[in-house]
Amino acid sequence: MKIEVLGMGCTNCNKLYQNVVEAVKLSGKEIEVTKVEDIKKMMSYGVLSTPALVINGVVKVAGKVPKTEEIKVWIK
């Protein structure tokens, strides 16, 4: 599984990143979480608002920060 956090370093982007790391830790799995700050890469997912969360290439959320519990369900 591969998780990407899209955003150009805004407050909400960091918050989302922290929530994802937290959720991964709670799940006990070994999952790689990467921050994507390159705008071209971000656009290739078609995302118009940040932060966005991409799991295995699929955009799960854009423009808001999901809670740790929500993310936990997605990475189960």
Partner 1 sequence: MIKNFADYIVYSVVGASPETRFGTALNFFIYDSIKIFILLSVIIFLVAIVRSYFPPERTRRILSHKREYIGNALAGLLGIVTPFCSCSAVPLFIGFVESGVPLGVTFSFLVSSPMINEVALVLLLGLFGWKVALLYISTGLVVSVISGIVIGKMRMERYVQDYVYQTKVGNIEIAQQNFREKIEYARDYTRDLLKRIWPYVLIGIGVGGFIHGYVPSDFLLKYAGPGNPFAVPVAVLIGVPLYSNAAGTIPIVQALMGKGMPIGTVLAFMMAVTALSFPEAVILKNVLKMRLLLIFFGIVAAAIIGVGYLFNSVL
Question: For this structure, is 13 an active site residue?
Answer: yes
Would you count residue 10 as binding partner 1 (CB under 8 A)? Answer: yes
Would you count residue 46 as binding partner 1 (CB under 8 A)? Answer: yes
Phi, psi of 2 (to 5 degrees): -130, 125
- Catalogue the E-assigned strands of 1-76: 2-6, 32-36, 52-55, 58-62
Cα distances (angstroms) measured from residue 51 to each of 27, 30, 65: 22, 23, 7
Question: For this structure, is 19 an active site residue?
Answer: no
Q: Which of 14, 22, 59, 68 binds partner 1 (CB under 8 A)?
A: 59
Residues that bind partner 1 (CB under 8 A): 7-8, 10-13, 39-40, 42-50, 59-64
- Catalytic annotation, residues: 10, 13
